[in-house]
A = this chain, B = another copy of it.
């Protein structure tokens, strides 16, 4: 008897032409996008003024317009009904949406926004791939690789085990939270480092190299964990299969890519109508994303691989430039949606039953910080290096942690308190990193940074966008 509303509205739908509702869905989607863009811009700019990364502001903006606060942007997965959505009420008042059709319009617009958010994260990973140079990755050497591997394994193992043992969290949910702990946000750290004039120090180079390798390892971990979540159980044979297939997919794509590169450029150079570069690039990226999804991995792994491959072509610069406005349009939908879907109310300390979520949040934050600080100790064979600084530099989770959270939440495997705990972990590690970094690094030495470095790593004026391609960094 719980089905009444949905069944009722969809039977209305089946008798009346579905098309009649499309214009109302479009109106609802337009309004949602206005709310999302306002939240992302106000939040992002505010955060930027305060010296924090814009992506954090977009997330907080999402929390404010979402289920935790204003209820402008709510989703049926969170148990919300159309009557609890301020936006749907607004539509009924201003655009003459009938109450009978409201549930169906609400459901459809929520799905459209969710799919747009997914397209946003696919474009985000495509852009990150497009701006990660494979040769640079190889060049940062074994030092950075060791740091990256330790920095992924330590928090992942400690987080997963701790959640299972101390909090009785089911294996898959714990694995997801552990995976979210592995990320390192290169954007935030490199911006602070450049402000401190330490980008070119040995510490700075190791941090940046490790952060990039972290991204790649993290995406593989995510693909594996997300695939396990679809089954709902952990099977060792499947874990082995997934790790191998994810690695092979990435390596295979890169290897084939070196051949494909030339034909891509060849085709593009023969095209003479609009979109001659961006459309073939998206065809490739979406095919790769579909392939990755079809072999039980994640679509974003395919998009990332496509980006890596196209980065090797001569069309790289031009393509990067064209992808920027598209990413600007779609990526904020992802970050704001992640914030909007997270109910921070479950962490309200005034309610006794929330204590568990709160202690989980505290636990995750401690693991997140210690897990990366410990990583600094793994630097070998360097005498006078600041190991603490390296560890601290890898603390912020930033946008990559949010990608993990978003994918995890969309599988429905995370409990509400765990979801809120992860988002608190991402927010706090990102907030804490800049002051901590300033503390562990010595006084800023007034080293003249060359123009080229400014261009690559960004500065306060022209921030990280060129380097990392991450929304708002």
- What is the size, in residues, of chain A's interface with B at 8 Å between Cβ atoms? 82
A274-B472, A275-B332, A329-B278 given as contacts; is B22 within 8 A of A118 (CB)? yes
Kindly state whether residue A108 has any CB partner on chain B within 8 Å.
Answer: yes
B-side contacts of A290, CB under 8 Å: 27, 30-31, 34, 95
A31-B279 Cα distance, complex, nearest whole Å = 14
A11-B7, A273-B44 given as contacts; is B283 within 8 A of A18 (CB)? no
Kindly state whether residue A293 has any CB partner on chain B within 8 Å.
Answer: yes
Q: Is the interface of A mostly helix, strand, loop or mixed?
A: helix
A273-B43 Cα distance, complex, nearest whole Å = 10
- Some 20 contacts from A to B, beta carbons below 8 A apart, are A6-B10, A6-B13, A10-B10, A18-B76, A18-B107, A19-B409, A19-B410, A19-B412, A23-B230, A26-B119, A27-B293, A41-B283, A45-B271, A45-B273, A96-B296, A108-B111, A111-B111, A112-B112, A274-B324, A278-B325
B-side contacts of A324, CB under 8 Å: 274, 322
A10-B10, A118-B26 given as contacts; is B328 within 8 A of A274 (CB)? yes
- Residues of A454-473 whose CB lies within 8 A of B: 463, 465, 471-473
Kindly state whether residue A25 has any CB partner on chain B within 8 Å.
Answer: yes
Residue of B at shortest CB range from A33? B286
* Structural contact, B23 and A294, CB atoms closer than 8 A: no
Which 5 pairs of residues, A with B, have the shortest CB-CB distance? A275-B328, A10-B10, A322-B325, A54-B273, A6-B14
B-side contacts of A48, CB under 8 Å: 272-273
Kindly state whether residue A450 has any CB partner on chain B within 8 Å.
Answer: no
A22-B410, A25-B111, A25-B115 known, 19 other contacts, Cβ within 8 Å? A6-B11, A19-B77, A20-B411, A20-B412, A22-B111, A23-B230, A23-B293, A27-B290, A27-B294, A30-B290, A30-B293, A37-B279, A37-B283, A41-B275, A112-B115, A275-B332, A279-B329, A279-B332, A323-B325
A251-B107 Cα distance, complex, nearest whole Å = 36
Which of B27, B112, B115, B286 is within 8 Å of A34, CB to CB?
A: B286
